[in-house]
Structure 1
Amino acid sequence: MDQQRDHENITELDQQLKGSNQSNMRAYNERLVLSLVRRNGQLPKMKLAQMTGLSAQTVSVIMRSLEADGLLIKGEPVRGKVGQPSVPLSLNPNGVFFLGLKIGRRSSELILVDFLGQVKQKVIHPYPFPEPDDIEKFALKSIKKFETDLGETASKIAGLGIAMPFELWNWAEAIGTSTDKMENWKTYDIQKILSHSCSYPVYLQNDATAACGAELAFGTNQTKRDFAYFYIGTFIGGGLVINGSLFIGKNGNAGALGSMLINDKAGDTKQLIDEASIVTFEKQLQEAGIDPSPLWNMENGWQALNQTINPWIERVANGLAQAIISTTALIDQEATVIDGAFPEHVRSRIVTATQEAIKNYNQQGIEQQIICEGSLGTVARALGGASLPLFDRYLVDQNTSLNQ
């Protein structure tokens, strides 16, 4: 994330973030300061006072407290024409750490990230299908290693976030295994189990929603106020950012964009998940007698499939175009962000194809679409897991009223 930004231009989103000078609002104000510094990079005291509406004295107290806690660090003084030099503060990368565990249909991944979202350690565990006991052993072994490597600074781990598809047992046939091998997921509470072995909080969220949170916390689209987010993995999913905060809904299922109804090229009604998922491409390759295993090789595997990818991209773009129009009609988002578990050149082609496909549909009554790329790619879901403790403990949720 670029920490050097033009601080003279306060975004519309930042203008809405206001603090309170009441003493009982200190925890909220600290989160507010951290949120603004994260989004804008280095900020001096007077700029923060201007942005938050807090008094200079209150901001000074907050900044000293956050600096004492190791969450903020001072930059080089900037001297103006008059008065005392301005001292900007920025996030301390080593002030706090987060763990993110992605549980996927083909592999699990555990990462350790710093306060800026930079991945410090990563380990991947591939498999033909996810088994609870196997993933538990992988997670516990990897967590222990990360903690050992951190040494005394392991005490700075603020939490572990798990990003995984909900109701994994329903996808047995689609990932090529039997239903009975996935039945254990119905009663297996991995969040509770890992909590017993961790000295910090453990969080759980749908993997695509978590990936959306990662884009908001660590990606290049974090200054956007509202956006719909589509993540194309083995199965496509999504998330919603409303008023600068991740919106998950009452049951955590808001932004289940893969369930949206669309029409395929034949005019038949399908769910988006049936048209715009990597597993759809996998089936296309299998039907053509082509080995689909390169799909799971992020380094160069997709290059070998360039001659066969066009029909799939067309299907994905057609489905996304319809889903984007429907989503916009409901929430009138500023932009739509598309990312996925594939190389950047594939992502770019999908975005371009979607921008063209949407022109084929009636958009009367809604604004012209801004369709752009996500910025995190294959690590988005694991980073999304790591972002869960960050959101819970260090950032402001604009969708939660201060009066609650």
Structure 2
Amino acid sequence: MSVASPPISATRRPLITLDTDHKRIIWLLRTLGPTPRITIAQQLGMHNGALTRLTRELLMLDVVEERGQVLAGQRGRPSVPLALSGKAGYAAGATVHPGWLEIALVDFAGHIVTRDVMAFDSPDPNDFVHAVDQRLRVLATQSGLMRSRFLGLGVAVPGPAVQTGPSRRHTVDWLHGWREIDNDHFYEDYFGFPVWVENDATLAALAEYYDSGLIGECASALLLYLGHGVGGGVIHRRDVMRGEFGNAGDIGRLFRMAAPRPSGIDLLATLREAGADIHSLFDLEHHLDRHAEVVQAWAARAGEQLGFAANTGVAWLDPGAVILSGSLPRPVLEAVGQHLQPARWSSALDILRHPVVHVSRLGGSAVAVGAALLPIHQLGADGIG
């Protein structure tokens, strides 16, 4: 067990202070992008005087910025678009994979500042927080970020919430040391700044929703996540859906561990049975061409299995999008995605609208990016309209 070093910030600092109307403006700009003041006023039903005051306050906080110039023939400032500014602050996200630790920094506008990986294989959560603390110091300095602008840390945990104690999660076997942590206090007690803890697939859903642009196109989405295991996440009314017990989207329970299932571990086992000398998902890309038929057959089977889960979710929740994400190579995700197309989903009525199917651009980094987005997302979540 490592001896805890002094945290990156020894005192708790309040986040940016925003009222409900500030947050409504922020969420409108998150969904619409750069928008003229007159459109903001119309969309939110605000008087021009109130909007002028609110936007002046947001400009002073560096939460928003003006974009472009006044249009020709126009007088005054109403036609100058406002957009979210990354200068308001930044947040970090951290997660562990078998053999390495990943950290992402994201600014207030939702743009990725940097992503970082380092070797890490300890099951001790004390080693994890020590390593994250040290890397955050380095990354903040390298990226030229001010610690006074730090908005918080998101931590992604691979495992569902359980009833064995307050804020406990049943993490995967190789993180058995994390199972007795009180997640509501362990991280904040060490770091001294706000920390949010969430399931890894749920955070991947948040990252994909932002990165894909779906945040401006639909208010709900289902995520299917293929990593070493299989999981999922749900976006509902542009917010993360956690469920009654914190396990919304836990589709892994639909696929028995002893049977073939749509997971990275299952794909590795399938390739080994076919004669591949492969030891981890790191090596997967080197075997795609050599065992193309095996991978395609597995992708077809995995796609059919996930199609069942997706079709069930679509029937219950009627989402605007289904997102396929995970740490598997993009060609594998795309092959699986071919079997998730709406045409394959059963429906008694052919005239029903189907969600768009989106394959991730972030890949395995979606978890760390989503963890970094969570503090920023939560900062204005109660302003979602």
Aligned partners of 2:65 and 2:82 also within 8 Å = yes
SS at match of 1:200: coil
Separation in 2 of the partners of 1:301 and 1:155? 46
Q: Aligned match of 2:108 in 90, 115, 134?
A: 115
Residue-pair matches, total: 357
SS across alignment from 2:319: coil
The answer to whether structure 1 residue 138 and structure 2 residue 131 are counterparts is: yes
Q: In 1, distance between residues paired with 2:258 and 2:239? A: 25
CA distance in 1, matches of 2:365, 2:133: 20
The alignment's TM-score, normalised by the length of structure 2, stands at 0.82
User: What is the CA distance between 1:79 and its match in structure 2?
Assistant: 1.9
CA spacing shift, 1:170–1:81, aligned 2, 3 Å: closer
Q: Partner of 1:159 in structure 2? A: 152
1:30 aligns with 2:30: no
Asked if 1:192 corresponds to 2:185, the answer is yes
Moved more, 363-372 or 339-348: 363-372
Is residue 40 from structure 1 mapped to residue 24 from structure 2 by the alignment? Answer: no
Query: 1:352 Cα deviation (Å)?
Result: 1.2
Return the alpha-carbon distance in structure 2 between the equivalents of residues 382 and 364 of structure 1. 39
Structure-1 separation of matches of 2:338 and 2:72: 45
Q: Which has the higher contact order (CA 8 A, sep 6+)?
A: 2
Q: Alpha carbons of 1:152 and 1:275: their partners in 2 closer, same or farther (altered >3 Å)?
A: closer
Name the residue aligned to 1:280. 266
Identity %: 23
Alignment partner, residue 5 of structure 1: none
CA deviations on 1:263-320 (whole Å, 9 max, x unpaired) are xxxxxxx479951111110111233332334622587675555343112201210111
Aligned 8 A contact 2:105 2:112 in 1: yes
Alignment of 1:253-292 (within 5 A): 253-260=247-254, 270=256, 275-292=261-278
State which of 75, 83, 87 in structure 2 corresponds to 1:83: 75
> Matches of 2:314 and 2:31 in 1, distance apart?
25
Aligned position for 2:348: 364
Q: Which amino acid aligns with 2:354?
A: Q
Q: CA deviation digits over 1:352-397, x for unaligned, max 9?
A: 12228x63x6422683533222332221100111111112113446
Residue in structure 2 matched with residue 220 of structure 1 by the alignment: 213
Which of 328, 337, 340 pairs up with 1:354? Answer: 340
Q: Which of 182, 204, 219 is the aligned partner of 1:211?
A: 204
- What does 1:48-59 align with in structure 2 at a 5 Å threshold? 48-59=40-51
Letter in 2 for 1:57: G
- Return the alpha-carbon distance in structure 2 between the equivalents of residues 309 and 283 of structure 1: 11
Structure 1 counterpart of 2:239, from 241, 245, 249: 245
Matched residues in 1 for 2:130 and 2:74: separation?
Answer: 61
Question: In the TM superposition, what is the alpha-carbon distance from 1:165 to its structure 2 partner?
Answer: 1.1
Q: Write the distance in 2 (CA, Å) between the matches of 1:116 and 1:303.
A: 39
Displacement of 1:103 after TM fit? 2.5
1:331 aligns with 2:317: yes
The runs of 5 or more residues in structure 1 that have no matched partner are 1-24, 262-269, 400-404
Task: Give 1:106 deviation, angstroms.
Answer: 4.5
1:74 aligns with 2:66: yes
Distance across 2 between alignment mates of 1:56 and 1:89: 14
Closer, same or farther in 2 for the Cα pair 1:31/1:274, shift >3 Å? farther
Pair 50,82 (structure 1): closer, same or farther in 2 beyond 3 Å: same
Cα RMSD for the two superposed structures: 2.9
Aligned 8 A contact 1:336 1:369 in 2: no
> What one-letter code is carried by the residue in structure 2 that aligns with 1:218?
D
| Aligned partners of 1:232 and 1:340 also within 8 Å | yes
